[in-house]
Structure 1
Amino acid sequence: MQWNVNETENWEELRSFVDTALLPIYLYRGSKEVCEHVLRMNYLLNVAAAIEQKLKGRVLLYPVNYHFAEEQPAQQTPSGFVHNVLLHFRGDRVRVAELGTEGSVLTLPVGDEDLESSLRFEVTVDVLYKEIIRHWQQWSTQ
């Protein structure tokens, strides 16, 4: 489920099935050109959307959370989800705010090389969505 009006109209009906929040996090760095930021942010959003499609029915994809890299704020996670998955570019330092005991947090780094390769994109999505499934399986055996 994506964070948009069309898909959230039935939120109350679907709420009991959606236990995972998918939060793409983008850190803006002043050292990069605007065109590079656009490419990177689009890539991150496309990876997140593709993961959500593969795990549809159990995941709510939030809009991108945009920060300036210099600020380094602690990332909040939404309440009411058993699992929170933070998606960010490799090398970005993402700090998570203190959590209660009700849920888990999985941080998944995305490589930022060869962003225009469709093969690289498919491999990235495949690896990351399988990692989420592995996380779910480990959590359920605890």
Structure 2
Amino acid sequence: MQWNVNELENWEELRSFVDTALLPIYLYREGKEVSEHAWRMNYLLNVAAAIEQKLKGRVLLYPVSYHFAEEQLAQQTPEGFNFCVLLHFRGDRIRAVEPEQKSNLLMLPVGDEDLESSLRFEVTVDVLYKEIIRHWQQRTSQ
């Protein structure tokens, strides 16, 4: 489920099935052209959307959270979800605010090499969505 009016119309009836919040986080860094930032942020959003499609029915994909890298980023996670997944580029320093949810929080870094490659994109999505499933299985078996 994606964060838009059409999909959220049925939120109340689907809420009990959606147990995972997926939050893509983009950090703006000095030294890159605006077009490169747009390309990178779009790539991150496309990875998140592809993961959501593979896990449709259990995941609510939030809009991209955009921050400046110089900020001390402490990402708050939404309440009411059994699991929370923060998706970000490798090397970004992000921490979650709620340490008590740490066991159900999954930080997934996305590599930023070769962003034009469709094969690299497919492999990235495949690896990350399987990592979420593994995380679910580990947490529910405990």
TM-score (norm 1): 0.97
Deviations 1:17-43 (A, max 9, x none): 000000000000121110110110000
**How many pairs does the alignment contain?**
142
Q: Does 1:84 align with 2:81?
A: no
2:64 maps to: 64
Aligned CA distance change for structure 1 residues 2 and 94 (closer, same or farther; 3 Å): same
Cα distance, 1:5 vs structure 2: 0.3
Alpha-carbon distance in structure 2 between the residues aligned to 1:36 and 1:50: 21
1:3 maps to: 3
Alpha-carbon distance in structure 1 between the residues aligned to 2:99 and 2:80: 12
State the secondary structure of the residue aligned to 1:2.
Answer: coil
Alpha-carbon distance in structure 1 between the residues aligned to 2:69 and 2:4: 27
Alpha-carbon distance in structure 2 between the residues aligned to 1:35 and 1:102: 35
Structure 1 stretches of 4+ with a deviation exceeding 2 A read 98-103
Cα RMSD for the two superposed structures: 1.2
Contact kept in structure 1, 2:114 and 2:120, CA below 8 Å: yes
Unaligned regions of 5+ residues in structure 1, if any?
none
Counting helix residues as a fraction of each chain, which structure ranks higher? Answer: 2
State the secondary structure of the residue aligned to 1:85.
Answer: strand
1:119 maps to: 119
1:73 maps to: 73
1:106 maps to: 106
Unaligned regions of 5+ residues in structure 2, if any?
none
Alpha-carbon distance in structure 1 between the residues aligned to 2:130 and 2:47: 13
Cα distance, 1:98 vs structure 2: 2.2
2:21 maps to: 21
What is the letter of the counterpart of residue 72 of structure 1?
A: Q
Alpha-carbon distance in structure 1 between the residues aligned to 2:108 and 2:31: 24
